[in-house]
Amino acid sequence: MKPENLLLDKNFVLKITDFGFSTNLAGKNDDGLLNTQLGTMSYMAPEIHLGRDYDGVKIDVFAAGIVLFTILTQRPPFRAATPDDPHYSLIANNGWD
């Protein structure tokens, strides 16, 4: 997901569009988990980088947060959204504070 994938409806409700990577949120096994590693590297959540199964909705919220941060601060939150980046690593290791 990236800014080009975000739309607002007439009530300013965020709508996410990315038809190239869209999938059934129930997952292939109907367990609600996805496992495909795809998307824009700088917007990927830690679960994707770490190769873990993930909840697609939570991943989209993470990416939307990256986009919002970038819009508000005019800079991305990470030098590189990889586990090697010190700020990204904090999130990947649940170091929220």
Measured in residues, the chain has a length of 97
What are 30-40's pLDDT values in tens digits? 676 887 777 77
What are 87-96's pLDDT values in tens digits? 888 877 776 6
pTM listed for this prediction: 0.70
Domains of the chain by residue range? 3-92
**14 contacts 6 by C-beta, under 8 angstroms:** yes
Tokens, residue 79: 């030098």
DSSP label of 14: E
Class level of CATH domain 3-92: mainly alpha
**3 contacts 18 by C-beta, under 8 angstroms:** no
